[in-house]
């Protein structure tokens, strides 16, 4: 089942990209495996998937040890400063940096691990109270402060728009993230200003996100099936 889901997903990603004039290679699929067992992750790996996303550090720590080094892990959950060590150790990219304190804690841990840690800044494009992420108008200031760190590599921005049943409604939030990234890139605030990562789009709206320039999509349900309550946080099951 996972093999079939993955095949179909990759096919839809490629078709969507081609239909809007993009190269499918520009789009990285992060398989979101929160609440998903190691056996299912193994099936996805055996089907060719190499990049996974996890939301909870403890859960991730237990699973990541099962898998070979060549698998890449993105942290996509809410991060507290006192967990920065574990996050810097386990993950290749932390997608959810939204405050200076978290960035500084990750920087310190990356330095002691002798690792350059890639990060994205999470932007709360919908300005929802219950969601993490820096507000769009505060992103530049945060990013200018992050630029003072030494062992982080700021590769782009990430967003989770408000939930809508109709994915079309996510479009303005994806556009807003892209516009913000372009403005910040003009000021050379990213590690590579010609290639800024935009992590946006989940099972329900990844096609719209690709049309709006996503370079990373984070997909769980469409790959692994509906999750049980655990592992969902505020994101509703589709």
Ligand X SMILES: *Cc1c(COP(=O)(O)O)cnc(C)c1O
Residues interacting with ligand X, by CB under 6 A? 32, 34, 55, 76, 160, 202-204, 218-222, 235, 238
Nearest CB to ligand X, comparing residues 109 and 199 = 199
* C-alpha span between 149 and 151 (Å, rounded): 6
Rounded to a whole number of angstroms, the minimum distance from the CB of residue 115 to ligand X is: 23
Which CB contacts under 8 angstroms, 24+ apart, belong to 98-103? 98/122, 98/123, 98/124, 98/132, 98/133, 98/134, 98/142, 99/134, 99/142, 100/142, 100/145, 100/146, 103/142, 103/145, 103/146, 103/149, 103/152
Tell the smallest beta-carbon distance from residue 137 to ligand X (Å).
22
How far apart are CB 141 and ligand X at their closest, in Å? 23
CB of 222 to ligand X, least distance (A): 6
* Coil, helix or strand at residue 186: helix
Nearer to ligand X, 93 or 149 (CB): 93
d(CA 169, CA 126): 11
Instruction: Return the number of the residue (76 or 84) whose C-beta is nearest ligand X.
Output: 76
Q: 122 or 149: whose CB is closer to ligand X?
A: 122
Closest distance of CB 138 from ligand X, Å: 20
Is residue 117 within 8 A of residue 106, CB to CB? The reply is: yes
Q: Smaller CB distance to ligand X: residue 178 or 218?
A: 218
DSSP 106-136: HHHHHHHTT-PEEEEEEE-TT--TTS-SB-H
Residue nearest to ligand X (CB): 220
């Amino acid at each position: 089942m996972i093999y079939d889901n993955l095949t179909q997903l990759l096919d839809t990603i490629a078709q969507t990209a081609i239909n809007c004039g993009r190269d499918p290679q520009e789009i990285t699929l992060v398989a979101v495996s929160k609440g998903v067992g190691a056996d299912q992750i193994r099936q996805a790996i055996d089907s060719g998937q190499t990049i996974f996303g996890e939301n909870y550090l403890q859960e991730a720590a237990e699973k990541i040890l099962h898998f070979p080094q060549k698998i890449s892990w993105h942290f996509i959950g809410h991060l507290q400063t006192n967990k920065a060590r574990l996050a810097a150790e386990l993950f290749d990219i932390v997608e959810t940096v939204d405050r200076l304190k978290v960035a500084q804690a990750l920087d310190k841990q990356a330095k002691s691990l002798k690792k350059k840690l890639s990060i994205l800044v999470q932007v709360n494009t919908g300005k929802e109270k219950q969601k993490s992420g820096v507000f769009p108008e505060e992103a530049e200031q945060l990013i200018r402060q992050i630029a003072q760190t030494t062992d982080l590599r700021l590769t782009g921005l990430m967003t989770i728009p408000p939930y809508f049943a109709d994915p079309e409604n996510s479009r303005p939030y994806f556009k807003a993230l892209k516009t913000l990234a372009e403005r910040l890139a003009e000021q050379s605030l990213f590690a590579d200003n010609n290639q800024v990562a935009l992590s946006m789009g989940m099972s329900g709206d990844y096609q719209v996100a690709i049309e709006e320039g996503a370079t990373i999509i984070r997909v769980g349900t469409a790959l692994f099936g509906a999750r049980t309550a655990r592992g969902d946080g505020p994101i509703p099951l589709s």
